Amino acid sequence: MNTVEFSRRKPVNRNDWIWMLLHSLAVIAIGILALVFPFPASLSVGILLAMTLMVYGILLIITGFVRRKTDWGDILLGFLGLLVGSVTLTMPLTATVTLMWMTGAWFIVSAIFGLVSAFRADDGRTWLFLNALLDLVFGAVLFFADPLSALAYAAFLLGFSLLFRGSFLLVTALRVRALHR
């Protein structure tokens, strides 16, 4: 059989390690980019949000008009998405600062889930626990710091977190490869 039980969850195929390896290298590369180019990394979050809201708004407007019966709720929500996206695009720094608080909250919630996973895991418990601890620290820094300090820390924390996650994925990929040899 070409599968092996890994951590008692789901079978891992013989060649899955290659995709895990590529994923880990991509995560590490993005982490390095965030550390090398911190301001563009922080600013790109606001710009990405703006573009997403604008595309979403346009799609909702189109959807509202092409239905058999015009859906004014979708049309109004679409215009709101366009408006918020346009404002965010013209003020990406303000949007990014707001997103730092939300990102901090996400890291804190991620830490809680990570701790639960670490205690349930049969294998890789130390990595999962360390990752959860890092998420908790990063979340606290972003959530409780003043907005400008949070923005300054954001790229560093993101880059460091991605490097750690990428390293964990790399080790996992190599372990899966070793299991199939």
Asked if residue 79 belongs to a domain, the reply is: yes
d(CA 119, CA 5): 19
The one-letter code for the residue type at 78 is G
Domain of 45? 13-179
Under the banding of pLDDT at 50, 70 and 90, the label for residue 62 is very high
Q: Is 99 exposed, middle or buried (0-12, 13-18, 19+ CB in 10 A)?
A: buried
Question: What pLDDT does residue 2 have?
Answer: 46
| pLDDT tens-digit map of 115-150 | 998 898 888 788 889 989 988 998 898 888 877 677
Q: Name the pTM for this structure.
A: 0.54
Tell which wins on pLDDT, 137 or 7.
Answer: 137
Tell which wins on pLDDT, 103 or 14.
Answer: 103
CB atoms closer than 10 angstroms to residue 11: 11
Asked if residue 3 belongs to a domain, the reply is: no
| pLDDT tens-digit map of 11-34 | 666 677 888 899 999 999 988 988
Asked if residue 134 belongs to a domain, the reply is: yes
Quickly tell me which residue has 């995709």 as its tokens: 19
**C-beta of residue 107 within 8 angstroms of C-beta of residue 135:** yes
Asked if residue 43 belongs to a domain, the reply is: yes
> Which percentage of the chain shows pLDDT scores above 90?
17
- The mean-pLDDT minimum among 12-21, 76-85, 136-145, 159-168 falls in 12-21
Asked if residue 57 belongs to a domain, the reply is: yes
pLDDT score of 50 more than 70 = yes
**Number of domain units in the chain:** 1
Asked if residue 7 belongs to a domain, the reply is: no
Asked if residue 27 belongs to a domain, the reply is: yes
Asked if residue 169 belongs to a domain, the reply is: yes
Under the banding of pLDDT at 50, 70 and 90, the label for residue 59 is very high
Under the banding of pLDDT at 50, 70 and 90, the label for residue 1 is very low
